[in-house]
A = this chain, B = another copy of it.
Amino acid sequence: MKLPLTFFSFARALVLGALFALGVHAHAGDPLPSWNDGATKQAIVQFVKTTTTAGSPQFVPPAERIATFDQDGTLWVEHPMYAQVMYCLDRVPEVVKAKPELASVEPFKTVLSGNREAMAKLSEGDLIKIAAATLTGMPVDVFQADVKKWLATAKAPRFKRPYTELTYQPMQEVLAYLRANGYKTYIVTGGGQDFVRVYSEATYGIPPEQVVGTAGGTTYGYDQNGKPFLTKEPKLLLNDNNAGKPEGIHLMIGRRPHAAFGNSPGDQQMLEYTQAGDGARLAMLVLHDDAKREYAYGPAQGLPDTKVGAFPQVLLDEAQKQGWTVISMKNDWKKIFAFEQ
């Protein structure tokens, strides 16, 4: 049977249509619409093209495409306090209800007073005591349900929205763009691994097993019906900050990332470790220089390092020395939040 050429064209269109419906061509148009054109956006697009185009000298096999993202200040707002710290503070009254003797003990007394100014002055040691009291001692299931409940009602003070709406739209686009090009995206956070895993899938499309964070031990045991459960223990297994980030990446992933994104001194080692691998690597730092739409802190304000991890001038110098790309929220991001008009 001899068929006319038009037939083949039509059949080809059908096949291509089927391929398209299967998502083989994931992107028509700009994959990063919330980014302004410029060197920063170009660095991301160039990295993806270089590492995923067959025949490229810096091609990375799909199995090795790993990208890691710090969370607080990199994927969502970390000011004026980490969401997890807000959670811990909000949970103190319940903890004190179960253990009334804590009401007259610091730092719980200060938290119960509701005095925001005094709370802002709590030391790191105080916060660790609060974290231990509010994040450990309960079954894993109970903790997860409680975080979920809190996230459904808590609102961030400035934006008056749920914390999970305060993610950066341009970074959500980077996550999606990398995934569409075969990258496995991971969160590598100094925050609590169990905390972030509760919402990572719904919020970022990142499943719990791709969240590496500061992690405590659990203990396996049985309830009175013989049903097994895990209890969260106040035993630190991984402090996923600074050197802990590459150590945590090795522990939980076992491969060196090809791309890494951070915003604070706690991310420096992760970026160094990523950059030190062979071939094309992408290392990026988010600079908070947009006081109007979000916050300006760190070198953008000539400020020293702050509690919430803004990066100091020395990290900016390091970025220049190592060839990391600095993302200016003010200049590189057309839009910061999905809810913006």
Residues of chain A touching chain B, judged by Cβ–Cβ distance below 8 Å, are 3, 7, 10-11, 14-15, 18-19, 22, 24, 63, 66, 140, 184, 193-194, 197, 201, 207-209, 211, 215, 217-220, 227-228, 230, 237-238, 243, 246-247, 250-255, 269, 272-273, 276
Chain B residues positioned under 8 Å from A227 (CB to CB): 276
Chain B residues positioned under 8 Å from A63 (CB to CB): 201, 207
9 additional A-B pairs beyond A11-B11, A11-B14, A193-B254, beta carbons within 8 Å, are: A14-B14, A15-B15, A22-B24, A63-B207, A197-B254, A209-B255, A211-B254, A219-B243, A228-B269
User: Is B14 in contact with A228, judged by CB distance below 8 angstroms?
Assistant: no
Q: Which of the residues B19, B220, B238 comes within 8 Å of A18, measured between beta carbons?
A: B19
- Copies of chain A in the complex: 2
22 residue pairs of the A-B complex, CB under 8 angstroms, read: A3-B10, A11-B11, A15-B18, A18-B19, A19-B22, A22-B24, A66-B209, A140-B250, A193-B254, A197-B254, A208-B253, A208-B255, A209-B255, A218-B250, A218-B251, A219-B243, A219-B247, A220-B273, A228-B269, A230-B246, A237-B251, A252-B252
Q: Which of the residues B15, B140, B218 comes within 8 Å of A14, measured between beta carbons?
A: B15
User: Is B208 in contact with A251, judged by CB distance below 8 angstroms?
Assistant: no
Chain B residues positioned under 8 Å from A194 (CB to CB): 254
Question: How many whole Å from A131's CB to the nearest CB in chain B?
Answer: 18
Task: For the complex, give the distance between the alpha carbons of A227 and B277 in Å.
Answer: 10
Interface centre among A14, A209, A215 (most CB of B within 10 A): A209
Question: How many whole Å from A275's CB to the nearest CB in chain B?
Answer: 9
Question: How many whole Å from A192's CB to the nearest CB in chain B?
Answer: 12
